[in-house]
Chains A and B, each alone.
Chain A
Amino acid sequence: DAGVTQSPTHLIKTRGQQVTLRCSPKSGHDTVSWYQQALGQGPQFIFQYYEEEERQRGNFPDRFSGHQFPNYSSELNVNALLLGDSALYLCASSFGTGVLETQYFGPGTRLLVL
């Protein structure tokens, strides 16, 4: 049974560019959450998708947007990249949005903005 998968594993962009990161949830999971983990920091919640809708959002600007597809996979889009967007982006999936549902994390996409 495949766990949470993310692509690409690494990405290098320049300031002002746009980037799309992808996530496939664990089999049977219908909820995807995205987190940003800056170097030396804990992950920070970006947003959560359930039933193809954004259910909750963290303190991130509108440059960060997402999408969930009917097969529950998800994309994270970041526009007008800034140097400070360099981080590890983690996707987590769960069955349902309840807080007691264990979130399974993927290995992440490491984004470097030059």
Chain B
Amino acid sequence: AQSVTQLGSHVSVSEGALVLLRCNYSSSVPPYLFWYVQYPNQGLQLLLKYTSAATLVKGINGFEAEFKKSETSFHLTKPSAHMRDAAEYFCAVSHGSGNTGKLIFGQGTTLQVKP
């Protein structure tokens, strides 16, 4: 069975500081991994996805994530936080078996950015 654990339900950083949101996954088959962002009263927007092509994945809005198989992790980072980055972030896992698009999400991490 696949699962995702996001460490830290709330993360607070100062504007301009490094953003680090943690995600660990469990999967018995090679996973596909995703980070989504949800702004208040909006749906989820894809930030980036890992599909086994490269372990360091660059996404939109300056975010990137590194797939580390040995650590079963896919942490999301951004060098310098902006106020507009304040939102809910979700890590998700899927796999290619059955060619399905079913996503399994973590609990989410709320990012607060302080001026």
Contacts and interface: CB of A to CB of B under 8 A. Distances in A.
A58 B103 CA distance: 10
Interface stretch (A12-20, A64-72, A92-100): A92-100
A48 B105 contact: no
Contacts of B4: 42
A100 to B, nearest CB: 6
- The prevalent SS among residues of A at the interface is loop
B70 interface: no
A27 interface: no
Interface in A31-50: 31, 33, 35, 40-45, 48
Contacts of A58: 102
Interface string B89-115: 010101110111111111110000000
Contacts of A44: 105
Q: Which of the four size classes fits the interface of chain B?
A: 20 to 34
Nearest to A100: B51
Contacts of A31: 101
28 contacts: A4-B43, A31-B101, A33-B103, A40-B107, A42-B4, A42-B90, A42-B92, A42-B105, A43-B44, A44-B105, A45-B103, A55-B100, A56-B102, A58-B102, A90-B44, A92-B43, A94-B101, A98-B99, A99-B99, A99-B100, A99-B102, A100-B96, A102-B46, A103-B101, A103-B103, A105-B44, A105-B45, A107-B41
Interface of A: 4, 31, 33, 35, 40-45, 48, 55-56, 58, 90, 92, 94, 97-108
Interface of B: 4, 32, 36, 41-46, 49, 51, 90, 92, 94-96, 98-108
- Listed from nearest, the 3 A-B pairs whose CB atoms lie closest are A42-B105, A105-B43, A105-B44
